[in-house]
Each structure stands twice: as structure tokens, then as C-alpha cells.
A and B are shown apart, each in its own frame.
Chain A
Amino acid sequence: MKRGRKNSENKNSSLEEIGEESKKQKIADEESTKISESPDWGNLLPDIILQVFQYLPLLDRAHASQVCRRWNQVFHMPDLWRCFEFELNQPATSYLRATHPELIKQIIKRHSNHLQYVSFKVDSSKESAEAACDILSQLVNCSLKTLGLISTARPSFMDLPKSHFISALTVVFVNSKSLSSLKIDDTPVDDPSLKVLVANNSDTLKLLKMSSCPHVSPAGILCVADQCHGLRELALNYYLLSDELLIALSSEKHVRLEHLRIDVVSENPGQTHFHTIQKSSWDAFIKHSPKVNLVMYFFLYEEEFDPFFRYETPVTHLYFGRSVSKDVLGRVGMTCPRLVELVVCANGLRPLDEELIRIAERCKNLSAIGLGECEVSCSAFVEFVKMCGGRLSQLSIMEEVLIPDQKYSLEQIHWEVSKHLGRVWFPDMMPTW
């Protein structure tokens, strides 16, 4: 384009002036014109620079912004500041780098109204959590779509005075009005602040993750379910789960839930008793959201499983993070027809042969299984794999789980299982140190 312009200019000049001197002059002019109008990185269209900048990590982008005014302008375009992850680490307690305080200042000053997708990663020190709250309180001009508060080590948000945290969080809830995704696990969020969230964002909220938030009560989360009809993903602790909650999530006005994750942990030391949920509540829940993924993590001692798996439970992804008894695994086989994935961290010294076979029989959707400190005889294992066949896309067994017997040794097992799975399979190995 520029070249074209240049040529037509020359043409005009040579028509206008005939004299050799003028020609020479024009030739000299041509040269300097060529130089000043040659393709220049600084003259690229802003959109192009923006495209390129989007591929650069922040640090490189910041360096690039120092090159010239045009590039600096592009660096500050709103598109580049829609999402940001604030990393808050104290050098005394963390191995990882933190976002530079100067950069944080700049963002708050120039870009807070561009921010839409924001997360805070804090280390285990209280100062980092405080810094996060500090920033949050200043995001008055923000209309956030996503907010994530992520503890990368100890839950340091819990070390803060509750009111301090709540007031910072409330700033976002009140100003955003179109929050769609909220991750506030391990924070001192409480019922009143959830009410504020709901009052301002009930139409837009789609995802809420709040495991290990001890100041929230079942009533608090119920309020969210009642008002936020677009909620599709929810993660919470078992004590917050109630019949009312499941019913609220299944009301006509509510969209189909896609993902419900429940952590079953003892909330107080010594707690061994857990409340029960009515079968009818689960039935209503599944009727309303037949495709929902129901993920349950259990961190209980063996004797605490009494209320669970006594009737048909629609769980799809089941994790036993500690030891679980043969008896409970037997009940799982009988009551979890929707089961897709099962991970058992530890069981005991008696083989899980019958339990596994029953699971293969009755959990027709099972496609992933992982076994840790357990024991299974090789024959039973082969039988299990045979019954599941190719639907097992994930099969993770530690080597020492398998007990060779009359029919199969460890070598043979690997062939048999591979045969039934339709792909090459080996058990997981640990190095002998």
C-alpha cells in the first residue's frame, strides 16, 4: 500500500518537473521518502500487535511495551487485561515467584475496570491472604465474571479476621452483578455474604465451589440453590447437603445440574456420626438432572461409613481417600448403578475378589478404576476385567495389589488383562530404590 503511494508520488513529481536538477533533487527526495516510509514495526496495526501480544507471557509483553509508544498503548488495551492471576507469595515462605507489587498497583489503577476473569493464588502465610483481600477491596469498578481464591498450601484465608475477609469479598459481590463462576474453597465465607452474592448475581451464577467453608450453614447454601436457578456446578462439604437442598436444585425453575461434588469429612475431631439423606431426595435430584456427575470424596475411618450406601445412591465418581472396608465396597456394588469411576486408596489384607466381581456385574457404566493398598487375587482380577471388557478406559493397579494364584502369575496377568482390554496394559510400578 505504502509502496503504491510512493510510486504515484514519484510519477506526479516527474511530470511536474523536467529539469535535471529537479530530477536529481527528486531522486534524493525519493531516497529519504523511502527511508521514512519503509515498513516499520512501530507502525503495525494495533490489532496485529494485540494478536501477537496475546501469545506472549506477561513478562515478555511488559518488556515489549517499553519499545515504543504504539506498543505501549497496545499493552494497555482492555483486551489484554480481561484475565489476570494474582500470585501472592512471601519470599520467606515460598519457593515460587510472586506478582510484582508495582504491577499490581498499575493494574488496580489502570485496568481494574477491564478485569473480568480473576484469580488469586496465595501461599500459606497470612500476609499473602491479606494482600489478596486488599486487592479485592479495591476492585470497585470491576464487573467480574469469574473469581477464584486459591490456597496453594495451608488455607491462609482462614487465618484472617472473618470480617476483614467478608468485607473484601462483599465488594466484589456487590459490584460485579454478573458473576458466573466463583471458587471460594477454604475461606471464612458465611451465610450473610452468600445472601449478598445471591442478591446481586442470582441470574448469572453457574459455578460455585466452596468446600471446607466452615462458617456456612445448610440454610446458607439453600438460599443459593433457591435463588440461583442457573447453577450448574456445585462443590461443598457433606454437612451442607440436605434433603431441602437437593429438592431446591431439582425445582422446575432450576436448570439441570451438571456437576455436584461432595466432600465427606469429619467436621469436628471425634465426629463419627453423619446425617442421612432421604432416598426420595436423591431420586428427585436424578429425575431432574439425569446426566449429572455426582462426585463424592470420602475421608473417613472405616467405622464411620454406617449411613452411606444403604440404598440406591446415584454417585458417578467415588473416591475413598483413606481406608475403606470390604463390607462398604460390597455395599457400593449393590447400590451404585451409575458408577463411572472408583478409586480406593487403601483397603486391607483380605482380597477384594467378590466385591470387585459384584461391581463389574452391577456397575455397568464403570469405565475407570484405581486401587492402592489393596489385595486382589489374579484370577478374580482377570475375571473382573473380562466382565468389564473394553469399557475400562482407565485401569490403575499397583503391582503389589495383585496376588498370584494357581491360575495366573504376574507375567500372565499382564497378557490376559491386555487381551480383554484390547490394549497393552501393565500394572503400576514403584521403583526399587
Chain B
Amino acid sequence: MSNMLHRTIHLFRKGLRLHDNPTLLAALESSEVVYPVYILDRKFLMSAMHIGTLRWHFLLQSLEDLHRSLTKLGSCLLVIQGEYESVLRDHVEKWNITQVTLDAEIEPFYKEMEQAIQALGGEMGFDVLSSMGHTLYDIRRILDKNGGTPPLTYKRFLHILSVLGDPNAPVRNLTAEDFQRCKPPSALGLVEGYQVPRPEDLGIPQQSQSPWRGGESEGLQRLEQHLKNQGWVASFTKPKTIPNSLLPSTTGLSPYFSLGCLSVRSFFYRLSNIYAQSKNHSLPPVSLQGQLLWREFFYTVASATPNFTKMVGNPICLQINWYQNAEGLHKWRMAQTGFPWIDAIMTQLHREGWIHHLARHAVACFLTRGDLWISWEEGMKVFEEMLLDADYSINAGNWMWLSASAFFHQYTRIFCPVRFGKRTDPEGQYIRKYLPVLTNFPSKYIYEPWTAPEEAQKQAGCIIGQDYPFPMVNHKEASARNLQLMKQVREEQYGTAQLTRDDMDDPMEMGLKHELSEENPKKGKRARNREQT
């Protein structure tokens, strides 16, 4: 190892922040010049994930913000459009680069990119430095502690964490001095081709009705507001909703964690301090810290499970014969199910890019095991496109959860698309806001307007079947059928279901499985064999 200082490109992928950025800090401490680069490889991004308009806006805003923050410290963000490998090749040569630093990510497409960059480094003679900045822990340590495989239940996961101790502390803040030493030629940032593009430059619609603005600064501001009310934080318990929390949150942070505009470690430690001071907080999982741990759990499982975002070839996922129903999927996606609770949620999702997690549970259950029996992969793709906090591991993990394909086994709990909404917001304020066509229905009917007599519909100025669709399924029948299907699947794939299940505490004829019926004596072996095929 030479003592020579590097000429470094720091590659931002996620991790769009300056606070608690260990990789960037390492870059600054080891270099004589650092080029903060974001490669906007559109083709790569679009092949890796679905990105809708709102997400593009959020990303571009975050890049703008990063650029401003870097400029304040005497540096700048260099956004380069193009295919990442050739961009790197060109600029490594142009700028005489000896080191590329980047956060390690667990998504397969990012891992592949990192490998390609390593290979390029070998070829062109530059070092590659990567460290985990996006999670609380180094995921590999968690896997190690669990014998090389991911803990597949949340309880087991918490147990492993308790053995590991607290996560790594956030690293120190960057200063102007750090950048003073390492600044790239200052003119670069002003040159065409290195600026953050505007939406219209990328052919993306300009308008965005979303109240969420991207970027580290916005994220930090929200964080402060969030933490300001210490008493509230300390008593944040179960997700019992009040209608207001369905509305766009002014202190919501999930999209900022997703893109790495905020550091999860910093948040974790801020919360720990608050808890230490308050007397009456609730332990994970319902606490805010618990939310971070759920995220970590899904990241861990995703990092070590092949085909995590698919059903076929995914060892922890039940293989279910979901309906291929393009029309049904379309209605769900376009908020035309005829169930106001579901449609209002999907409308908010389109318009704003964020919905409360209970809302996510409702629409996810409705699409999959509750009513439509459509594959969770379809829902996951729609969420990926629309949700500002769409995240490879968390999205897939939660969809498998909600569809009872993995992790979740109390499949008898089917959320009712009428009752669930009624409990959450009895007056229907949420419905009225996002589905104005139903505004004039009295609260009695607003969750099931098809039950309103003709007169009432006329009075409300909305005829069901005309101005607003009929319900697309009979929930009672659909859910009854789906319950049986799910039961059958689980009996047949008992082994797979057990993988992500805690040992006990789940009734549904547990004691009666395969004991009474006199069937094929070889079935056990065959069933095992079939699972292996």
C-alpha cells in the first residue's frame, strides 16, 4: 500500500447525502482530489426497476440538493449521462483516476455493476473501495452470526441483533476543509454535460402534484420536525391510525431513507438518545426504531436469497397459482375497483407517491390473497413505479408478507375493503378528498355506495355503475374461496411455509394435518420430491 494520495471518483448511486457518509469520508481522507460523480445511466436504471414520473422528480431534486450542498463546501456534483461503463472509462482516463469509491449495495443489479467496476479497475489500474453505508449493520456480519444464512423470521433476526450489539455509530460530518484539499477543477460544475438535468431534458412530464420534495436538506428538516416533539416520539406505539395520518405526512421519512438522502444510523442514534431520556417508550417493533429494524430485516433476507423479487425460483416463497388477470390488475392500478377505500388509496398513490403503511396493507391484501388472487409480483411492480420510497428489498419483502407467500402465516386475517376503511376513518374524509365524485355520499354509504338506495345516489349526484363503478368482486365469496386456496397451498408446501415461520402460535387445524386421511402412503416423499423439482 502506497502512501500516495489518490485521485478519486466518488460514485453516488444511492447514498445521496453528505452527513454520515463513510465511503465519501474515506475517499476524502485518502485523496488529493475527489470528483463527486453521479452517472445517470438511464438505460441501466430503467432495466433495473420501474421508475415513474414522481420518482424521477424526487431523484432529480435530490441530485440538485446534493449539488447545492457540495457547492457550499467548495465542491460540486458532476452528473454525467450515459452508459456507466463507458462513462467511467472515459473519465478515469481524462482525470487520471486511481481510485473509485462507492457504497456497497445488495441489489443484484448494483452488485453486478460493482463487479464490472472492479473488473474495469483491474484492467485500467485503479483501486475500488466500497463500504456499507445504506444499512444499520454490515449485513454480512448478521449472516455470519446466523451461520451463513439470513434469519428468516423477525424474532430470530432481533435475537441475532441482540448478540451483535448496537449498530456502527455515524461517522463525523464533512467540512469545507475536507473538500478544500480535494476539490476538483471548479469550472467543471458549470460546464454543460455535468449539470443536474431538468425533467423536461429527460422527456419527463414537468408537473408533479406530489408534496414530497427530494433531497438531503428536505430530509433533515423533516427529521428535525419529527424529533421535535419528543413526547410523541417516545409514545409512538402501535399503528392505530387516526385519519390525519393517512394524509401526506409532513414528517414522513421513508423516501429519504430509500434514496439514502438520510442516514439510518444517524436516525437510529438520535432516537436512542431520546429514548434514554424518556421513561415510557415502547420497544421494537412498534417503535420508530423498530421501523428501521424491519427495513434491516428485509435487506438481510434479500441480500442472501436468490430471486427474492420473484415467486418462481425463490426458495422462501410459496408457489401459488395466481390468476393472470390483466383486466383486474388494470382496474386495481387505475383505482377503478368500485371499493372507495381501495380506490382512494390508489389515487393518492398515483398523485403523491406515498401512502400510509396500513393503506399499503389494504390494497396489497385486496390484490392478492384477499380478493383478486393476482400475483404479488404485479403489485410490487406498480408500487415500484409509483412509490417514492420504493426499495428493492422492502417492496418485495412486504408484498410477499401481505400476500402470505412468506413471513406471514395468519392468512385467515383478510382485510375487508369496506370495514378496514370504516374503522380507520369513519367519516370518510380520506375518501372525499381523493375521490371527489363520492363527496356527497353520507358517511353511512360512502364505503359501500352500491348499497345506497337509488334516491340517495341521485341526491349524492353519483349513480353507481355510471359515475362510479360497481364493486369488481363479491368480497365475501372471493375471500371465502381464497382462504381455502391458501390453506391448500400451505398444506402442500408445508416445508416452504415453515422456513419463514416462528415455531408456534398459529392455529388453523394444526393438529389435523395429514393425520386422519388415509391417502397415498408415499405422498410424503412425493410431496418432498415435488418441492425439489
Contact = CB atoms under 8 A, between A and B. Distances in A.
B290 interface: yes
Interface stretch (A21-29, A104-112, A317-325): A317-325
B323 interface: yes
B479 to A, nearest CB: 7
Contacts of B488: 150, 152
B239 to A, nearest CB: 6
Contacts of A343: 412, 507-508
A301 B357 contact: no
A83 B319 contact: no
Contacts, number: 199
Given A233-B517, A394-B507, A410 B479 contact: no
Interface in A390-433: 393-396, 398-400, 404, 409-411, 423, 425-426, 428-433
Interface in B497-533: 504-512, 516-520, 522-523, 525-526, 529-530, 532-533
Nearest to A258: B516
A373 B365 CA distance: 14
Given A346-B416, A372-B412, A373-B423, A433 B530 contact: no
B344 interface: no
A82 B282 contact: no
Nearest to B254: A433
B35 interface: no
B479 A322 contact: yes
Contacts of A342: 507
A117 B521 CA distance: 9
A181 to B, nearest CB: 5
29 contacts: A82-B522, A83-B523, A95-B322, A117-B519, A117-B522, A153-B321, A153-B322, A207-B518, A259-B517, A319-B412, A322-B476, A322-B479, A341-B508, A345-B414, A368-B507, A369-B507, A370-B412, A370-B506, A372-B410, A372-B412, A372-B413, A394-B504, A394-B506, A396-B410, A396-B506, A428-B505, A430-B361, A431-B285, A431-B398
Contacts of A399: 238, 286
Given A323-B419, A410-B282, A429 B154 contact: yes
A82 B520 CA distance: 9
Interface string A25-52: 0000000000000000000000000000
Shortest 10 CB-CB contacts between residues of A and residues of B: A117-B520, A368-B507, A433-B357, A152-B321, A372-B413, A394-B507, A299-B480, A431-B294, A57-B533, A57-B529
A83 B521 CA distance: 9
Contacts of A349: 423
Contacts of A400: 238-240
Contacts of B401: 430-431
Contact of A259 (B294, B298, B415, B516): B516
B286 A146 contact: no
Contacts of B294: 431-432
Contacts of B175: none
A124 B375 CA distance: 14
A58 B413 contact: no
B143 interface: no
A418 B517 CA distance: 35
Interface of B: 154-155, 237-240, 254, 282-283, 285-286, 290-291, 294, 297-298, 311-312, 319-324, 357, 360-361, 373, 375, 394, 397-398, 401, 408, 410, 412-416, 419-420, 423, 474, 476, 479-481, 483-485, 488-489, 504-512, 516-520, 522-523, 525-526, 529-530, 532-533
A293 interface: yes
Interface residues of A, number: 82
Interface in A143-158: 145-146, 150, 152-155
Q: From A180, A295, A301, A321, name the one whose CB has the most chain B CB atoms within 10 angstroms.
A: A321
Interface string A258-294: 1100010110010000000000000000000000010
Contact of B398 (A180, A346, A433): A433
Nearest to B360: A433
A404 to B, nearest CB: 8
B450 to A, nearest CB: 13
Interface string A127-154: 0000000000000000001100010111
B285 A429 contact: yes
Given A321-B414, A431-B298, 17 more contacts: A83-B522, A85-B526, A93-B323, A232-B516, A299-B480, A343-B412, A346-B413, A370-B507, A373-B415, A394-B506, A396-B507, A399-B286, A410-B237, A411-B283, A429-B286, A431-B398, A432-B291
A433 B361 contact: yes
A85 B321 contact: no
A395 B505 contact: yes
A194 B509 CA distance: 28
Contacts of B506: 370, 394, 396
Nearest to A431: B294
A94 interface: yes
B479 A368 contact: no
A341 B419 contact: no
Contacts of A85: 526, 530
A368 B510 contact: yes
A123 B525 contact: no
Interface of A: 54-59, 82-83, 85, 89, 92-96, 116-117, 123-124, 145-146, 150, 152-155, 180-181, 185, 206-207, 211, 232-233, 258-259, 263, 265-266, 269, 293, 295, 297, 299, 301, 317, 319, 321-323, 340-343, 345-346, 349, 368-370, 372-373, 393-396, 398-400, 404, 409-411, 423, 425-426, 428-433
Contacts of A404: 237
Contact of B476 (A232, A293, A299): A299
A117 B517 contact: no
A54 B525 contact: yes
Q: From A233, A345, A349, name the one whose CB has the most chain B CB atoms within 10 angstroms.
A: A345
Contact of B479 (A154, A321, A370): A321
A368 B238 CA distance: 25
A340 B510 CA distance: 11
Contacts of B523: 83, 117
B505 A396 contact: yes
A117 B517 CA distance: 13
A295 B512 CA distance: 10
Contact of B526 (A83, A206, A423): A83
Given A92-B324, A396-B507, A433-B357, A370 B410 contact: yes
Nearest to A122: B321
Contact of A206 (B311, B321, B420, B518): B518
Contacts of B361: 430, 433
Contacts of B290: 432
Nearest to B375: A95
B508 A433 contact: no
Contacts of B520: 82-83, 116-117, 145-146
Q: From B155, B282, B506, B507, name the one whose CB has the most chain A CB atoms within 10 angstroms.
A: B507
Contacts of B532: 57
Contacts of A346: 413, 416, 419
Nearest to A123: B321
Nearest to A367: B511
Contacts of A181: 517-519
Contacts of A428: 410, 505
A425 B506 CA distance: 12
A233 B516 contact: yes
A425 to B, nearest CB: 7
A383 to B, nearest CB: 19
Contacts of B489: 152
B244 to A, nearest CB: 17
A299 B529 CA distance: 35
B529 A58 contact: yes
Contacts of A395: 505
B129 to A, nearest CB: 33
